Amino acid sequence: MHSARSSTLQIVKKYRLATCQIEKVMSTIRDGMFCYLTDSKNFTAHNREISKEHWGNRFCKNRHIRKNLDEIYKELGQETSVFAIVRDPFDRLISGYVDKCIKESQFTKNSCYNCTGNFSCFVGNLHLSLQQRFANKQIKGSFYNDRHFAPQTYCDFRNHFHDYTIIKYAPGKEDSQTAAAIDELLEKAGVPSHEREVVGRELPSETRGRHCILLEELEKFSTSENYCYRMKNY
């Protein structure tokens, strides 16, 4: 789960730019961003918007997806700019739990290991499932959950950590810092100002939309009666 084999990377060939996706860390907005940068004219001509792309309706499909960094270096060269975005693990866990186990439970049967809102049940099953997956055991039906909650050690960091520019993401007031870091990286890669402006306009939509809309539910969840006790034990 955390090896190079399970990595998902995206590229923009003309800018020799690559990013490694980590679930629940701006992965959807980044997919839209890389699709736009790959073919901005066609993307715009079809009235697509970066912040409205989602996994069920991706304009670029898999044309800009690669599975490992060595493959990308062979294709684009060793001077490729590579970055990953990481997030506070606790914040990512709670955000993922609210998103996948509370919100999606309204539309998806058997979500989050059939724990139906029981956080202790969820954490126990997640821990067991990840242990089995890391031991290369065959597990049915848990990959969707596992990939959204597995530790942020994707991207073959063991072998390529020093190749990456690491951007830290924190929803809320620090969103502007994340956007500024992304813009600086795009500028260094040679992305023209008009494309960076489009990306810059869309990133706040992501932070005010998909992520910040969770704050109210996160507050309800984190202040619930048994929350502190549960977290003490995990």
For 128, residues 6+ apart whose C-beta sits below 8 A from its C-beta are none
Whether 59 contacts 48, CB under 8 Å: yes
Q: Report how far residue 84's alpha carbon sits from residue 17's, in angstroms, rounded to the nearest whole number.
A: 11
Q: What is the pLDDT of residues 69-105, one digit of tens each?
A: 999 999 999 999 999 999 998 888 888 888 888 888 7
The whole-number pLDDT of residue 75 equals 97
The whole-number pLDDT of residue 144 equals 75
**Amino acid (1-letter code) at residue 131:** Q
Q: Report how far residue 133's alpha carbon sits from residue 137's, in angstroms, rounded to the nearest whole number.
A: 5
| 0.85 exceeded by pTM | no
Checking if the pLDDT of 210 tops 60, the result is no
Q: Which residue is listed with tokens 């929350």?
A: 227
**CA nearest to 43, candidates 24, 61, 56, 26:** 61
Q: Report how far residue 234's alpha carbon sits from residue 231's, in angstroms, rounded to the nearest whole number.
A: 5
Distances, alpha carbon 137 to alpha carbons 1, 128, 132, 146, 149, in Å: 11, 11, 5, 13, 18
Extents of the domains making up the chain: 4-232
Higher pLDDT, 136 or 224: 136
User: Considering the chain, what percentage of its residues have pLDDT values greater than 70?
Assistant: 79
